[in-house]
Amino acid sequence: MASSVLSAASHSVSPSCSLSTTHKGKPMIRDNTLGFHRGPNSFSSSRSRGRISMAVAVNVSRFEGIPMAPPDPILGVSEAFKVDNSDVKLNLGVGAYRTEELQPYVLNVVKKAENLMLERGDNKEYLPIEGSAAFNKATAELLLGADNPAIKQQRVATVQGLSGTGSLRLGAALIERYFPGAKVLISAPTWGNHKNIFNDASVPWSEYRYYDPKTVGLDFEGMIEDIKSAPEGSFILLHGCAHNPTGIDPTPEQWEKIADVIQEKNHIPFFDVAYQGFASGSLDEDAASVRLFVARGMEVLVAQSYSKNLGLYAERIGAINVVSSSPESAARVKSQLKRIARPMYSNPPVHGARIVADVVGNPVLFNEWKAEMEMMAGRIKNVRQQLYDSITSKDKSGKDWSFILKQIGMFSFTGLNTNQSDNMTNKWHVYMTKDGRISLAGLSLAKCEYLADAIIDSYHNVS
């Protein structure tokens, strides 16, 4: 299944990139001996042809000192899955939605939107640096609600980004440029690429407690304590919903308390919203945390992605929103975001932005889209329920597996440790990351019983 390799490339844990302590600046891979290799022809091939150089050749390549980058652990999972010959193998490392037949899925509304574009014969002109105006409008309204005062007062700066990752990177670069030295707090654990993004943007970060391995739930007290202890004016990276990789989200009451502490400490929230509508099936429910903060008058940054909820994965469509306290500062922020984007890629890709604008901006397609999101979210909920039912009917130990039902979104943290995860792979041909995360998108109802057997065996029989 070649597509599973492709699909595993993003939104996944990269343990080899994890850093557990405060990290400042960019990790530099330097080979200090490289300087001594410099000299004439250091960029030349030993196979040179044609005219003879007047200088004495020193055939040492300028790239000789470059080491192999560490392999991507998620891709490794999918590659190992591919070469496994077992009939019962399962790929639970996949980072993209799958149907009950475990096939990739293109939403019907997306196909309709693409056909509309073909019929219109749209041109291919450059978008503005900030992206498509129709897309930006639809996107801010989707996130905040069209009637949100922040939108009506033009206090939202929205810039189309390269999906969630590109949007996070724009936000990180803004922090580096205008809040130098400000620290970003990220949850432990979090999506592996978050650390790469802030590292490469030269933004220092540290972690706040989030996941509680004892309860396989939220360490709410630890989280509050760490946010309270952070230096005043820190940025707090929050997953808007469907936390990746744990699937654990705060309750509405907990979100209120988190907002209290952030306001009290004058921190600024930076939301990563990659699953709006896809998590619960409801766009409004999944945006509730962001809207709560904005309703309190707080200034927030929000990175959005349409990879999961519209299935636009490879079209790279997302946005960075900055909700400011005045329209004037929102305009200034937008101008600086554009200034950051211009030397990165000039302007964003047009194809997916048109799809989003056509779907979100068209009431008929919009309603069809909501139905499809409910279907996708519903399938994952059904799988969670079935998995839970299978495990609890088989496991007589009395262990509480209810966290499987409490978690939200595509991913589930099983609580399995590294050895237990290895057993899942070696004995049961179930491929997952070593942190115990499984992607429920790679699971069909028919396979839940098999997976339950594997989990019970690994949990009880491997220490």
Of the candidate spans 66-74, 243-251, 288-296, 432-440, the one that interacts with other proteins by CB under 8 A turns out to be: 66-74
Q: Which is nearer to other proteins, 49 or 214 (CB)?
A: 49
Q: Which is nearer to other proteins, 167 or 421 (CB)?
A: 167
Of 241, 242, 277, nearest to 374 (Cα)? 277
Q: Which is nearer to other proteins, 9 or 224 (CB)?
A: 9
CA–CA separation, 224 vs 265, rounded Å? 11
Of 226, 167, 184, 192, nearest to 23 (Cα)? 184
Interaction pattern, residues 158-197, with other proteins; x per rule: CB under 8 A: ---xxxxxx--x-------xxxxxx----------x--xx
Burial environment of residue 407 by CB neighbours within 10 A (0 to 12, 13 to 18, 19 or more): buried
Spatial contact of 340 and 177, defined as CB atoms under 8 Å apart = yes
387 lies in the site for other proteins, by CB under 8 A: no
Which of these is catalytic: 112, 183, 308, 334?
308
Identify the H or E element spanning 268. Answer: strand 268-273
Structure tokens that stand for 46 in this block: 């030993």
Structure tokens that stand for 21 in this block: 């302590």
Spatial contact of 77 and 431, defined as CB atoms under 8 Å apart = yes
C-alpha dihedral (284, 295, 405, 409), degrees to nearest 10: 60
Query: Looking at 134, 261, 288, 344, which residue binds other proteins (CB under 8 A)?
Result: 344
Of the candidate spans 140-148, 325-333, 373-381, 434-442, the one that interacts with other proteins by CB under 8 A turns out to be: 325-333
Which of these is catalytic: 272, 286, 358, 435?
272
Q: Which is nearer to other proteins, 121 or 363 (CB)?
A: 121
Query: Looking at 348, 415, 436, 442, which residue binds other proteins (CB under 8 A)?
Result: 348
Interaction pattern, residues 390-409, with other proteins; x per rule: CB under 8 A: --------------------
CA–CA separation, 150 vs 144, rounded Å? 8
Backbone Cα Rg of the chain = 24
85 lies in the site for other proteins, by CB under 8 A: no
33 lies in the site for other proteins, by CB under 8 A: no
Known catalytic membership, residue 272: yes
Known catalytic membership, residue 191: yes
Spatial contact of 436 and 246, defined as CB atoms under 8 Å apart = no
Count CB neighbours of 304 within 10 A. Answer: 29
Q: How many residues of this chain bind other proteins (CB under 8 A)? A: 116
120 lies in the site for other proteins, by CB under 8 A: no
446 lies in the site for other proteins, by CB under 8 A: no
Of 305, 298, 329, nearest to 154 (Cα)? 329
439 lies in the site for other proteins, by CB under 8 A: no
Interaction pattern, residues 267-296, with other proteins; x per rule: CB under 8 A: -x----------------------------
74 lies in the site for other proteins, by CB under 8 A: no
68 lies in the site for other proteins, by CB under 8 A: yes
Q: Which is nearer to other proteins, 7 or 420 (CB)?
A: 7
CA–CA separation, 158 vs 173, rounded Å? 15
Which of these is catalytic: 112, 183, 191, 286?
191
C-alpha dihedral (400, 401, 403, 409), degrees to nearest 10: 180
Applying the rule CB under 8 A, the residues between 201 and 260 that interact with other proteins are 201, 232-233
| Catalytic sites, residue numbers | 191, 272, 308
